[in-house]
Chains A and B, each alone.
Chain A
Amino acid sequence: MSEHNGLTQKFTTLEEAVKKFIKSGSIVAIGGFTVSRNPMALAYEIIRQGIRDLHIVCHSHGQALDVLIGAGCVKRLEIAYGGNGRYAPTCVRFRKAIERGEIEFEDYSNYQMSLRFLAGALGIPFIPTKSGLGSDILTKEGFSPQTRREKNVARKKLVVLQNPFTEEEDPIVLLPALTPDVTILHAQYVGEDGTVRIKGLTFADIEQAKAANAVIVTCEEIVSRAFIRSDPDQNCLPPFFVDAIVKVPYGAHPTACFGFYDYDPKHLNYYRKVAEDDTEFKKYLDEWVYGLSSHTQYLEKVGIQTLIKLKASPVTGYAIGLERK
């Protein structure tokens, strides 16, 4: 297959990308961090397609994770942190789902989860760290013994053993690698050749992408091959790591996308309020997800005035002076 043919198939729609790569029961890693660069348009599409029983793996996650949990798409979760910063110190639907016993969950730390993705990306089965020693991350387990016997779930949460390279007493924590079925992420630019460029912080997106069997990238802009290759130091992923590419301007709203737009404080505050009430939250999903058939409709609903307020300054990469309370 020529490069060109492969590429043509990669450029696709939200609907096709989700249909092709995400199934009920898939292990999914989400790019971004709390209220930055969440692949929201993909999360909404997953909800609209009625995908269930997802096993989500992430470090610190916020909005996309919370919407997916709230819509009932998530069965299982390996996570370090569920929060939206000042806009929801603990994500509301995440908190409720755990308090009500609706999802299976396993706690790790940010460093541990990042290392697990790195191990997956490097093709090694496990990775050591000092982090976690003495904590209840080592002693308390969330997954049941039955879950631990399932295919694609590590047989143990972690293992503590003696550093084999010294005679001194030196305990270390071994963490199992993560190899998600799919990683979904939102980037600023993708080249016509499929090269991905993330601006600002990359969080653990690159490790998450390389660890996965398939990668879906939504982006603000698709740029020419000549442009993306004129400054390759800025690029994050070569084309062969990416399986589906969808141009979705404002595809991270209401979370932020460096250089393009800020997070939407009004929307995030509104979300936190409605998420507290089951009926109100259902209405929110009807209004913002099920009731909209395309991302264009979503943007029309957000409204041009809001989009202008959120627009990032080309100098700072964020919206200077944005009302953020």
Chain B
Amino acid sequence: MKILVCISHVPDTTSKINFTDGDSKFDTNGVNFVINPNDEFGLTRAMWFKEKQGASVDVVNVGEKETEPTLRKALAIGADNAIRVDTPAKDGFQVAQQLAKVAKDGDYDLIIAGRESIDYNGGMVPGMLAALLDANFINTCISLEIDGDTAKAVREIDGGKESLTASLPLVIGGQKGLVEESDLKIPNMRGIMQARKKPLNVVEPEEVATQTEAVKFEKPAPKGEVKLVDPENLDELIDLLHNEAKAI
């Protein structure tokens, strides 16, 4: 089984979010970039398929040179090969088309992406990729097993879950549940050393169109002071929620 894991390179969850160039660009100053958490769950599940079912695991990112440390980390966790499509990520559709080319060239059986990137929260690349490849697609995937060319998956829905089956090739939008938090691997010294020697292939991008453009950013208006209610006077809280906030 050949697996491709799509890795998006995102600011870590504690990052301060600021913008530059007249609020038109994300300010990367002092920001620590990591593997998108949803992709880390997917990558760890892919390692399980490698260990237990002899799968090969490639990782791919669409981005410029600064994303390479993130791909190296994926190699240190245990991926076999990394591919970087050398172009800035402009919108979900452009990224999906670049990934579709890599996916076709590599003839993968299973493509693991994340439910969404925690930066732009697009939630669109995996579905678009599946549609472009005419492959099956399962989103918000929280459990995945492969037997021959059949996948058994569980997907989270609002208020519950759904069990599904689909044949390969398959694209998933994964999240926590694929593996547990405690299964995530921190690369060890040996992994990091090995990763240095593993191939990281830089490929030229396709000429593709975009459909959307991020024109500017804005930070939420600062919040007013919290109104504190005395624990001995909870009627006041109910009154505020009812009459002021109109929330109950």
A is bound by B: no
**Which residues of A are in contact with B by a Cβ distance under 8 Å?**
none
**Which residues of B are in contact with A by a Cβ distance under 8 Å?**
none
